A and B are shown apart, each in its own frame.
Chain A
Amino acid sequence: MADVLEVGAARGDAPPPAAGTARRGASARRTGRLTPYLFLAPYLVLFGVFGLLPILLGVWLSVHQWDFQLPNRPFVGLDNYQELFSSDSAVYGDWWQSVRATAIFTVFSVPLLVVVPLGLALLLNRSFPGRTFFRAIYFAPYVLGVAVIGLLWRFLLDANLGLVNRLLGAVGLPADTPWVTDVPWAWVSLVGVTVWWTSGFNAVIYLAGLQDIPAELYEAAKVDGASAWERFRHVTLPGLRPVLLFVITTTVLASANVFGQSFLITQGAPGTETRTVVWFIVEEGLRDNDAGRAAAMSIVFALMLAVVSIANFRLFRYRED
């Protein structure tokens, strides 16, 4: 054995086995370098085609007066953006009114959509008979489409014919509240309906988060004499932090994208006070065929949301420090 080895090692012309290994190693390293990208590729391709490309196209559209049916689509530079900020343009008033509408809706709906589902999840996390049934019940509205809940609530909330006012009247409360045609009632309706509609979804996410918090922590806290509130404050909330960040971020974005509810329930009334940004963008782009202007609005709106999201992430990071 030893001889063979010696001979092998002494033979100068023999192909050094190490070299072969090195070659193989190099190619492995090369493919190795590619490996992460290959694994990423399926997502990268999808992201490129459906994420990045549309964004770039959007930027391209936004500097043109773009109607895809018209032969001339002149380059207009930053005109589409400028219009949004100059008070004498045709869209200035409508645009800022829609931003205002979206802001009002988001400011009032997000806290409720963060807190109410958390309460629901805490209740549904306890063990009591019929728990699964209630979990299903609270999630149920979420499976309905916006068209269904929109029509349903428009008729329920009708000022003169609706069930809501009828019931309020029956218990001696004012029976002529204009739930869908006047502010602030329209906002109460829109926020209320949205909370009823989507709370179940956030509650399910909280529920999953709650079940991830180890029971030992609660036991330890109990042994230390922590009250229910203290357990919630010092065990539950810190345990839910990543879930909270997720819920808040997605809820802010979902609320800022509100469209169907106001389109169907209030139809923008009174006037255009409840017409939201996304609705207005759709009108400009698809009904009035001005894709350039709609793209400029989308980009400005996306930047606004980016700022909100960054603030949101920062807030949570600092708390962690």
Chain B
Amino acid sequence: MMQNDMSRRRLLGLGLGLGAAATLTLAGCGGGDESGPAAGNGGKDYTGPKVDLKLWNGFTGGDGDIFKTLVNQFNSEHQNIAVSIATYQWDDYYNKLPGAASSGNGPDIAVMHMDQLATFAARGVITELDDVAKTLELSEGDFAPTVWQGGLYNNKRYGIPLDMHPLGFYYNKAVMQKAGLDPNKPPTTKDDYTAALTELKKSGVQGFWVSPFQFTGGMTFYSLVHQWGGSVFDAEATKAVFNSDQAVEACTWLVDLIKQGHSPANVGQDADYLAFKSGKNAFNWNGIWQINDLKKSPEIQWGVAPLPQIGSQPAAWANSHNFTIVKQRANDANKVSAAKVFINWLSQHSLDWAKGGQVPARKTVRDSAEFKALTEVNALAPELEYAAFPPAAPGLGEVMTTFYNSFNEAALGKKSPKQALDDGAAKANKQLEDNRKKYGS
């Protein structure tokens, strides 16, 4: 059965290959066609026969509509390229992609988070894009250095950054006003922050709900670890160091907020954000993507600012969406070069993407007057100077889960911060060793 299956697949692959070859030959017959090298000309333009490209993404929120509009615009401007989109939940998406790609049913272009690139590159799902970066004349100067470095795996580029999405500090103006705080002056330092929480408590509000889950408590803790000068892994992502003194202090600060009554215990998933929207708390550290959601409720008076500096330096969790090109069983050079044209075009149009609630990756777009007019998104742009992106190494996803689970145990009071983080780091180190064996790095 397995054998049959394999040979059927091979046959299919052969069929596709022949089909592609036929198309190429036909195109050749049509004349006037300079197909150029196999990989195209790095996305400058595409003059070959009409191709259909499949693009997969995980933009299930309001950003999905904006993305679709952009793609439609691209399609109407390019008569010989038709891009169709499929959207999945990110979790499903990452599970589905490898299988789909290896059976020949995958997309041509895939949108991916920065920290997933290394895993998918190591597993041979996505292809190198160095020539696109060259054609687009992109260099480290155009981006935050971390986001630019994050697209590399084994010194080759696999992702072209589209945007960056940091954690922001949302404050409910109405609740602040009721507690006698200036709603236009959100706290920016540790002292301001705790003073504000004390005032809020006096007015009967538990100001800052500490969620024990990755969204949003885990990301808050991640930001604070970096604010205290610590990190989750060492520089090469070979050792877990999130049980350092700095990390324990950061964790203790958060857990103490619960003990001091600034947050209820046992905050459920999403409860922190729902409470923020209904005025039950005043502060929420949440992703930039919530801007669009909050805009849907005009009755809420809210503002967003960079995270206050609680530790010794500013830092904020952030991630980045990247474009990648999926390796195909049937290598169709036309599709690859058309895909590069698409990535190039969308990168240049990333200002429109900013309206989806993301900070464009390109510095030139960020510096434009049009971007500055997007008040809320622009308010978080300064965070990119010190944004702490998740490290990129293959198989790091499960280790990050271990990190978030240790925080969960601490925030729910099952273990002391030190105990929870020590246990977590010990397990994480075993997982890292496992990964080294598997990916052979």
Contacts and interface: CB of A to CB of B under 8 A. Distances in A.
A176 B267 CA distance: 11
B414 A270 contact: yes
Interface stretch (B130-138, B150-158, B373-381, B429-437): B429-437
A40 interface: no
Contacts of A160: 209, 264, 266-268, 271, 275
Given A69-B124, A272-B405, A290 B438 contact: yes
B349 interface: no
A267 interface: yes
B223 interface: no
Interface stretch (A177-185, A215-223, A308-316): A177-185
Contacts of B213: 267, 269
Interface string A171-194: 000001010111000000000000
26 contacts: A57-B2, A68-B98, A69-B123, A70-B438, A90-B427, A90-B430, A93-B427, A157-B268, A158-B268, A159-B265, A159-B268, A159-B271, A160-B266, A160-B268, A160-B271, A161-B275, A182-B412, A267-B213, A268-B405, A269-B412, A270-B212, A270-B412, A287-B95, A287-B397, A289-B98, A289-B395
B328 interface: no
A157 B270 CA distance: 13
Contact of A70 (B123, B266, B269, B271): B123
Given A49-B1, A53-B1, A271-B405, A154 B438 contact: no
Contacts of B266: 159-160, 176, 178, 181-182
B398 A283 contact: yes
B422 interface: no
A70 B268 contact: no
Given A57-B2, A68-B102, A283-B401, 11 more contacts: A67-B123, A69-B102, A70-B122, A90-B431, A160-B264, A160-B267, A178-B412, A181-B212, A267-B269, A273-B414, A287-B95
Contacts of B21: none
Contacts of B398: 283, 287-288
A161 B95 contact: no
Interface of A: 49, 53, 57, 65, 67-71, 88-90, 93-94, 154-155, 157-162, 176, 178, 180-182, 267-273, 283, 286-290
B412 A181 contact: yes
A160 B275 CA distance: 9
The secondary-structure label for the interface of chain A is loop
A-B CB proximity, top 4 nearest = A178-B266, A90-B430, A69-B123, A271-B409
Interface of B: 1-2, 91, 94-95, 98-99, 102, 122-125, 209, 212-213, 264-269, 271, 274-275, 280, 395, 397-398, 401, 405-406, 408-409, 412, 414-415, 420, 427, 430-431, 433-434, 438-439
A288 B122 CA distance: 13
A286 B266 CA distance: 30
Given A270-B412, A270-B414, A290-B438, A180 B95 contact: no
A268 B124 CA distance: 32
Nearest to A88: B430
Most chain B CB within a 10 A radius of its CB, from A49, A160, A272, A283 = A160
Contacts of B264: 159-160, 176
A161 B268 contact: yes
Contact of A269 (B98, B212, B274, B406): B212
A286 B94 CA distance: 9
Contacts of B414: 182, 270-271, 273
Contacts of A89: 430
Contacts of B274: 161
A177 to B, nearest CB: 9
Contacts of A71: 124
Nearest to B281: A160
A181 B266 CA distance: 6
Most chain B CB within a 10 A radius of its CB, from A70, A88, A89 = A70
A88 B429 CA distance: 12
A215 B420 CA distance: 62
A267 B412 CA distance: 13
Contact of B125 (A53, A69, A94, A161): A69
A287 B438 contact: no
A71 B102 CA distance: 12
